Structure 1
Amino acid sequence: MNKRIIVTPLCACLAFCAPFSEAMEVELGGFLKMNARHVNGDIAFQDSWTGGGSVSEPTQRTQFSAQESRLNLGVSSNDVRGFIEIDFVGSSQGNAIISNSYSPRLRHAFIEYQDVVAGQTWSTLVNTSAFAETADLGGPLVGQAMVRQALVRYTFNNWQFALENPYTYGTNPGSSLNDEPDWIDTRNDYVPDFIVRYNTKGNWGNVSASGVIRYLDPDQTQQVSTGMSVAGKLRTFGKDDLRIQLHYGNLGRYVGTDAAKDIIEGELETTLSAMAAYRHFWDHNWRTSLFIGHTATEVQRSRRTLVGVNLFTNLTPELSVGVEVGQYAINDKARLESTELVENGQSQYLQLSMQFSFQ
């Protein structure tokens, strides 16, 4: 539940910038989350499965963590809304010996005025309603579009048009698998990525279709890349739903969460990513999601797959608990120049989570 505080000119502690002609609404939200995670296999432990990682020696590891907890603040006045959100994922500051401290990490920070959004938030390519309900943060990230970045977006009826932050992720010609990769110099990222999206919805659910055009210019090679995406949430029987995503083209860093690069040895990468999740309600509280995510690349010839199933229930409207099991697999035949590296491995995981939401 959102906690709303009405701010007036009499509240001097919050009205330090200028007097308010009308009341300002402040919304506080977020959640506290505790995870217990066990990983067993020959892909190294990750706090949540991204599309990255590599095959290593067999290992087992169990970790407890509260770093996924997050806090957000929304402020509205007249036609203007501001939103900022932080969590603590991937930003270890202390260590497990003493403090287990984590630094805040900026997730969202944007301004919304009428039909325009400016700031850092979900890329226009991302349909958040197509995310599965999972204990693992983000779920099958390996098959999803899951990018937050700075952008300027205009919405007109069902259409959205956006200019988004350019960044080229990849390697130059001559990189070797046996040496440190020769990463592309991003100083030539000077043309914003352009994304167009169309949304439609009804009692049956919602679907979005997006297209992206990017101008990548490492070492002045001047390459135009394109890609397309379809995603949505479809209602099926009762309260059940099917969530799907399908992405194809030169999407690179936009999909798979590090499963694919934009350019490999100076050559544009082509990626196929897909994700599907079916959520079934056993009754008004108990529910299960069965999900799969997969990304395959043409140039680097990588194959990354995550499958999983979970069981969730709510102890109170705000407090949910869940258990999840799954497997992350790597099946790569990486190619750089004349070198080929075959990697095959998988790790199984078991995760318990408890989440108290106040939004």
Structure 2
Amino acid sequence: MKNCVVNAKLKSSDVKFFKLNKGLSLIGLVVASALAATNVSASVIDDTDVNFGGYIKVDTMFSDYSNGAPDSGSISRQFYVPGTIYGVDGNGSQVVDFQARESRFNFKTVSSIDDHKLTSFIELDFMTHADGNERVSNSYSPRIRHAFVSFDNWTVGQSWTTFQNPAALPENLDFVGAAEGTPFVRQTQVRYTNGGFQFSLENPETTLNAYQSTSRIVSGSGMVPDVVARYNIKTKQGAKFSVAGIARQLNIETEINDIQLDATAMGYGVSVSGILPVGKDDLKFTATYGEGLGRYMALNYVNAGVIDADGDIDTISSYGGFIAYRHWWNDKWRTSLTASAFSADNNTSLMADEVNKDSYSGYVNLLYSPVKPLTVGVEYMYAKNSKENGDEGELNRIMFSAKYVL
């Protein structure tokens, strides 16, 4: 399905097909007919490739929460999110969840215009929403994952933050996998790419702890975008490495409890990631350290800073990483073993002792692809989260999945 391609000079009276994958002939004809009916004049367009892709994925998760399971529909019941597994008192600890919400659809066009390359991409899935339920129809709204346009070296729109290397993520059945050990953000940005170098200006958003409280303050104020630089390296032996750095201004301008807050602070971070081939196997890793990284790490398990008694921002330092080894038993069977960790250096004199401190998780799976587009598998994961006061939450989960790549 992802290989369905329609090439056309986009004129209302002239749509020419030169490649249409038989698996999507009907959809291709519909798209081409729509193009022909739009009265679009684009004589400068030489070729346009239209690609449909995505996958259908069905998960069954048997979960055991140490302190009582979160309520049905909670994000922790969809996938592992550090900080959401402490549980709900009074709830049973063992639950099972069936879902197809990770299934996704994407649409991509690549055009050649006056010797320039123009690309558009949009992708939707159904994760993280609480606007549906499991009582009757399991109807969940689609959400935007990616929506961007690229023109030669420039990209504008929503995609992975340049600070993250998504190619280094392990092949886990869990939606993120190694959630606390990797930068993980999608957001709107302007990115310039030249060879292995990438530079971007990205959407700023500050998350802070209130003074001596667990309350999270989310501030969208400030005029300075987050600045990211990254360099990608590929060796002759097939190894791939990435080094990324970020500088960001933390900013808050708001009134809380009749106290006017107006403060800024600088945050920064460095992340190194890689993919190392080991024969047919591979080793993937990421290591990240920073001051004021906040939402960029561990799905915002810890905030970027805390407000002190004077109303200023005291940044929180944190570090995390993961390592994952994937072994191919043969052409159809494979196993990934993953270990992930994160820790924050909280200033406990400024914060309530219920704030998150560290997080760990481990995964082992067995995946089978009888044919290339189809994968079925089973995965066991264990996660442990800790707070500064010593409170802990643990999650044991066995997950069965079936995935068909379109």
TM-score of the aligned structures, taking structure 1 as reference length: 0.92
Paired residues of 2:85 and 2:395 also in contact (CA < 8 A) = no
3-state DSSP of counterpart to 1:129? helix
Q: How far apart are the structure 1 equivalents of 2:339 and 2:82?
A: 13
Paired residues of 2:106 and 2:123 also in contact (CA < 8 A) = yes
Counterpart residue number, 2:331: 284
Paired residues of 2:53 and 2:107 also in contact (CA < 8 A) = yes
1:205 aligns with 2:239: yes
1:275 aligns with 2:322: yes
Q: How far apart are the structure 2 equivalents of 1:301 and 1:314?
A: 39
Superposition pairs of residues 233-312 of structure 1, within 5 angstroms: 233-236=275-278, 238-250=279-291, 251-265=293-307, 266-299=313-346, 302-312=357-367
Counterpart residue number, 2:107: 73
Paired residues of 2:181 and 2:341 also in contact (CA < 8 A) = yes
Counterpart residue number, 1:338: none
3-state DSSP of counterpart to 2:295? helix
Q: CA deviation at 1:188?
A: 2.2
Q: CA deviation at 1:285?
A: 1.1
Q: Which one of the candidate residues 36, 41, 49 is aligned to 2:80?
A: 49
1:196 aligns with 2:217: no
Q: How far apart are the structure 1 equivalents of 2:172 and 2:245?
A: 27
Superposed CA deviations along residues 239-273 of structure 1, whole A, max 9, x for unmatched, are: 11010000001221111112221112332111101
Q: How far apart are the structure 2 equivalents of 1:187 and 1:252?
A: 14
Q: How far apart are the structure 2 equivalents of 1:258 and 1:42?
A: 22
Superposition pairs of residues 316-355 of structure 1, within 5 angstroms: 316-333=371-388, 341-355=389-403
Q: How far apart are the structure 1 equivalents of 2:306 and 2:356?
A: 11
Superposed CA deviations along residues 102-122 of structure 1, whole A, max 9, x for unmatched, are: 100100000111111110000
Q: How far apart are the structure 2 equivalents of 1:278 and 1:241?
A: 6
Superposition pairs of residues 5-44 of structure 1, within 5 angstroms: 5-8=6-9, 9=11, 10-11=14-15, 13-15=34-36, 16=38, 18-21=40-43, 22-42=46-66, 44=69
Counterpart residue number, 1:183: 217
1:226 aligns with 2:268: yes
Q: Which one of the candidate residues 94, 112, 126 is aligned to 2:150?
A: 112
Equivalent pairs: percent with the same residue? 31
Paired residues of 1:92 and 1:100 also in contact (CA < 8 A) = no
Q: After superposing the two structures, state which structure 1 stretch, 202-211 or 81-90, moved more.
A: 202-211
Paired residues of 2:82 and 2:385 also in contact (CA < 8 A) = no
Q: How far apart are the structure 2 equivalents of 1:147 and 1:256?
A: 10
Q: How far apart are the structure 1 equivalents of 2:360 and 2:110?
A: 41
Paired residues of 1:271 and 1:295 also in contact (CA < 8 A) = yes
Q: CA deviation at 1:154?
A: 0.6
Q: CA deviation at 1:204?
A: 3.2
Q: Which one of the candidate residues 118, 121, 145 is aligned to 2:159?
A: 121
Q: CA deviation at 1:6?
A: 2.2
Q: How far apart are the structure 2 equivalents of 1:301 and 1:35?
A: 29
Q: How far apart are the structure 2 equivalents of 1:187 and 1:62?
A: 37
Q: CA deviation at 1:345?
A: 2.5
Paired residues of 1:93 and 1:100 also in contact (CA < 8 A) = no
RMSD: 1.6
Runs of 4+ in 1 over 3 A off after TM superposition: none
Q: How far apart are the structure 1 equivalents of 2:182 and 2:397?
A: 20
Q: How far apart are the structure 2 equivalents of 1:6 and 1:80?
A: 14
Q: How far apart are the structure 2 equivalents of 1:55 and 1:301?
A: 11
1:63 aligns with 2:110: no
Q: CA deviation at 1:220?
A: 2.9
Superposed CA deviations along residues 288-342 of structure 1, whole A, max 9, x for unmatched, are: 0000111100015611111010000102110000100010101221xxxxxxx32
Q: How far apart are the structure 2 equivalents of 1:122 and 1:297?
A: 24
Q: How far apart are the structure 2 equivalents of 1:17 and 1:279?
A: 50
1:24 maps to a residue whose letter is T
Q: How far apart are the structure 2 equivalents of 1:132 and 1:169?
A: 28
Q: How far apart are the structure 2 equivalents of 1:187 and 1:248?
A: 24
Q: How far apart are the structure 1 equivalents of 2:199 and 2:328?
A: 36
1:280 maps to a residue whose letter is H
- The 3 A distance-change label for structure 1 pair 328 and 107 is same
Paired residues of 2:224 and 2:249 also in contact (CA < 8 A) = yes
Q: CA deviation at 1:54?
A: 4.5
- The 3 A distance-change label for structure 1 pair 222 and 32 is same
Q: CA deviation at 1:157?
A: 2.0
1:20 maps to a residue whose letter is A
1:164 aligns with 2:202: yes
Q: How far apart are the structure 2 equivalents of 1:95 and 1:217?
A: 37
3-state DSSP of counterpart to 2:180? helix
Counterpart residue number, 1:3: 4
Q: How far apart are the structure 2 equivalents of 1:7 and 1:91?
A: 37
Structure 2 stretches of 5 or more lacking a match? 16-32, 71-75, 253-260, 308-312, 347-354
3-state DSSP of counterpart to 1:204? coil
